[in-house]
Structure 1
Amino acid sequence: MADLRAGLIGIGMMGRHHARVLRELPGVELVAIADPAGDPHGVAGDLEVLPDVESLIAAGLDLAVVAIPTRFHEDAALKLAEAGVHTLVEKPISQSVEEGQRMVDAFSVKGLVGAVGHIERFNPALQELRRRIEAGDLGEVYQVITRRQGPFPSRIADVGVGKDLGSHDVDLTAWVVQSPYRSVYAQTVHKSGREFEDMMLATGRLESGVVVNHVVNWLSPMKERVAIVTGERGAFVADTATGDLTFYANGTFPLEWESISNFRGVSEGDVTRFSFPKREPLRVEHEAFRDAVLGIRHDVVTMEEGLRVLAVVEGVIESAKTGKSVEF
């Protein structure tokens, strides 16, 4: 069977990595690259850097990756859908729920694979975490806390920290626990002089009853990517920057101190850092997209799922503006 013909629009900070992985991916041939800004990182190789999505489509594609600024996602995706090209769009799916819905509809009508690049789902620590939660290792899940903070990336100009970084945590939380959001209440901060928020604190509840809390900002000099899931038998800590997963078990020693024995809490138990294969998340994401196009498997983040994430993040922003909780 001939390789799938792939095109890539956008070869900036993220697009350059897509170009590398697409070239390495078995069963896929990168045949065209487009970016109106040229090739700042020198990744085009022997391919001509095309000026727009129309010229990309003209190369004759089976699939495409859209890695341009969020405000251009809808236009590129709709043109690719009309041309019958399966498409992976970088997160967030779009600038607004309305734009995202039009994208979802366009790919659905054409029967095409429309995916969103929520890469954290393919992080080895989170994939192992979800597997262990599904297996019942944690028992009942009580709470999910995420912290995602670090310096401001100057390349992000058209969305705030909620849609850029916060969308990762919203998606991974609902996916790991396998429950959608019921409500959120949030506060945001504007300190960098931009129109968009650069700090977000959000708390909420999932349909399953699990409570969640997200700390997200571009105002910290230290980079942190942590998800903590606490439940009946202890707590998992996933560090997605390193791909590590650690389990803190509840202690099993009986309480002999009378003054605290009336408190039905837990004591400190064993700590286990798990060993498992750690593959590059972007490569695993591309493999899932390729296989979805071939009809082999369907574990990509669909545009419908990407749209639900965007709706929650927009709820976070609305809550911060109104001071009221937002229900879904």
Structure 2
Amino acid sequence: MNKPPLRAGLVGLGAMGRHHARVLRALDGVDLVAVADPGGDAYGALGGETLVSTVEELLAHKLDYAVVACPTAYHEEAALALAEAGVAALIEKPLAHDIPAAQRVVEAFESRGLVAAVGHIERYNPALQSMRTRLEAGELGDVFQVATRRQGPFPNRIADVGVVKDLATHDLDLTGFVTGAQYRSVAARTAHRSGRPHEDLVTVLGELDSGVIANHLVNWLSPLKERVSVVTGERGCFVADTLTADLTFFANGSTRTEWDAVSAFRGVSEGDMTRYAIPKREPLTVEHEVFRDAVEGKADAGIVTLRQGLRAVIVAEAVLTSARTGATVSAGSE
């Protein structure tokens, strides 16, 4: 006898919520039964689902789980209501607007033994997943540095947080994901160039507990949209473009040079370049499949845990503290 499909709900039907609705509607083993958004269906994303205004009304539909895709400022309120009702939740990143709120969300779900995850979608990007597998296999040797660039025009949908918590949390999380290390300290500078209350540019220099150096350039000020992660190690470097899901390896050269001015330099030289052919599935679809499997009780589903989401918020707060004080700040622990 086939199991009935999981009953899913969605909180928020904005620019990201509409994509969650699209994926949920097509997800095997899941029925999207209702959506909550006090602003209605601004993007015309609803199918046959019921539209309600509040999380309380959403809970009346006897959900197995819900996706929280409302603005960051409301994550805590929505998540705590779901936890109180015993409903599993996939919460968009960042987990919450600050550390205390994120800690309350973690405690609410852990204390009840509920499945919950954070939508750090870059972990499901094929290029980064392939990079992580290759790093774990030792293909790069010792890792020296992680450098990321994430820039583009300002997204009008964002009003409640700045570029650090909205965009830089991607890079802060993916750095730990691909290296298996955590931030020890960060030094950062931010800028406000567009007249908005929150920062729209940040540069971060971090040190991981493995000794790896990380640096991140993130802004909402560029007409160029860029999402690039470069990991450099003893055998060369990996370059992941998460917009195209391409992964390229640039090997250190092994060909002897007879050009004296170059051969005298005790560094590396250019070697072969390999662009890997990797399967490319939509990261949001993979993220939803993984969470569905976790709700169904499948072991090692691969979700991003609430504590991992909390960790990203902690590092983001350290970045903002460093930018405010001008000091290098410990990335700390929970």
TM-score class normalised by the smaller sequence: over 0.9
Partner of 1:68: 70
Give CA deviations for 1:4-38 in whole Å, capped at 9, x if unaligned. 11000101110001001001111111111110000
Partner of 1:322: 325
2:185 aligned to 169, 183, 189, which one?
A: 183
Partner of 1:2: 4
Partner of 1:31: 33
Q: Does 1:256 align with 2:266?
A: no
Partner of 2:301: 298
1:257 shift after superposition: 3.7
Partner of 2:290: 288
Give CA deviations for 1:82-125 in whole Å, capped at 9, x if unaligned. 11111011111111000000000000011011111100000010
Give CA deviations for 1:54-86 in whole Å, capped at 9, x if unaligned. 011110000100000011000100010011111
Which letter maps to 1:155? R
Partner of 2:111: 109
SS at match of 1:110: coil
**Structure 2 CA distance for aligned equivalents of residues 113 and 17 of structure 1:** 22
**Structure 1 CA distance for aligned equivalents of residues 274 and 262 of structure 2:** 26
**Structure 2 CA distance for aligned equivalents of residues 229 and 103 of structure 1:** 33
Which letter maps to 2:310? L
Map 1:188-207; keep pairs closer than 5 Å. 188-207=190-209
CA contact (8 A) 2:33 2:50 kept: no
Which letter maps to 2:293? D
1:59 aligned to 61, 64, 70, which one?
A: 61
**Structure 1 CA distance for aligned equivalents of residues 47 and 241 of structure 2:** 34
Which letter maps to 1:299? G
1:195 shift after superposition: 1.4
1:258 shift after superposition: 3.9
Q: State the 4+ residue runs in structure 1 displaced beyond 2 angstroms.
A: 254-264
Partner of 1:167: 169
Aligned length: 328
**Structure 2 CA distance for aligned equivalents of residues 325 and 70 of structure 1:** 27
1:254 shift after superposition: 2.2
Partner of 1:15: 17
2:231 aligned to 210, 220, 229, which one?
A: 229
Map 1:264-275; keep pairs closer than 5 Å. 264-275=266-277
Partner of 1:208: 210
**Structure 1 CA distance for aligned equivalents of residues 16 and 43 of structure 2:** 11
1:295 shift after superposition: 1.8
1:188 shift after superposition: 0.2
**Structure 1 CA distance for aligned equivalents of residues 156 and 125 of structure 2:** 24
**Structure 1 CA distance for aligned equivalents of residues 157 and 263 of structure 2:** 54
Which letter maps to 1:293? V
Q: Does 1:140 align with 2:142?
A: yes
**Structure 2 CA distance for aligned equivalents of residues 18 and 136 of structure 1:** 35
Which letter maps to 1:202? V
Give CA deviations for 1:213-269 in whole Å, capped at 9, x if unaligned. 000000001100000000010010000000000000000112434444443211100
Give CA deviations for 1:272-293 in whole Å, capped at 9, x if unaligned. 1100100000000001101111
Structure 1 gap ranges (5+)? none
**Structure 2 CA distance for aligned equivalents of residues 166 and 109 of structure 1:** 29
Q: Does 1:311 align with 2:314?
A: yes
**Structure 2 CA distance for aligned equivalents of residues 123 and 259 of structure 1:** 41
Partner of 1:157: 159
**Structure 1 CA distance for aligned equivalents of residues 215 and 329 of structure 2:** 15
Structure 2 gap ranges (5+)? none
Which letter maps to 1:98? P
Shifted more, 34-43 versus 250-259: the winner is 250-259
Give CA deviations for 1:276-327 in whole Å, capped at 9, x if unaligned. 1000000000011011111213311111100100110110010001000011
- The RMSD of aligned alpha carbons is 0.9
